[in-house]
Amino acid sequence: MENMQRLTYAKGIYGEEEKLAVMRSLDSGWLSGGVETRSFEKEFAEWFGLKHALTVNSGSSADLVALQSINLPKGSEVITNAGAAFPTTVTAMSYLGLVPVFVDVKDLCIDPDEIEKAISLKTKALMFAHTFGFMPDMSRITEIVKKHNLKLIEDVCDAVGSKQNGKLAGTFGDVSTVSFYPAHHMTTGEGGMVMTNDTLNYREELSIRNWGADCTCGDMGGCVNRFNNPPFDHRYYYTRMGGNFQITEMQAAFGREQLKRLDGFIDIRRRNYNILARELGEPECGEISPFIYPLFSRNKMRDMARLNEVGIDTRTMFAGNIVKHPAFKNIGRIVGDLKNSDRILNEGYFVGVAPHLTEENMLYIAKEIKCLR
Show which residues are catalytic. 184
- 282-285 CB contacts, 8 Å cutoff, 24+ apart: 285/133
- 137-145 CB contacts, 8 Å cutoff, 24+ apart: 137/112, 138/164, 138/167, 138/172, 139/165, 140/112, 141/110, 141/112, 141/115, 141/172, 142/172, 144/112, 144/115, 144/116, 144/119, 145/173
Q: Residues near 345 by Cβ (< 8 Å), separated by ≥ 6?
A: 83, 317, 319, 320, 321, 324
Burial of 192 (0-12, 13-18, 19+ CB in 10 A): buried
- What phi and psi, each to the nearest 5 degrees, are found at residue 223? -65, 130
> Distance between CA 117 and CA 113 in Å, rounded?
7
Distances from the Cα of 254 to the Cα of 157, 188, 250, angstroms: 18, 6, 6
Distances from the Cα of 51 to the Cα of 45, 67, 93, 269, angstroms: 6, 18, 26, 27
Pairing of strands 333-334, 105-106: unpaired
Q: What amino acid is encoded at 88 in this protein?
A: T
- Cβ atoms of residues 216 and 206 within 8 Å: yes
- The reply to whether omega before 231 is within 30° of 0 (cis) is yes
- Cβ atoms of residues 217 and 234 within 8 Å: no
Strands (DSSP E) along the chain, which ranges?
Answer: 52-56, 77-81, 99-103, 105-106, 109-110, 123-129, 151-155, 163-164, 167-168, 175-179, 192-196, 292-296, 315-316, 333-334, 348-352
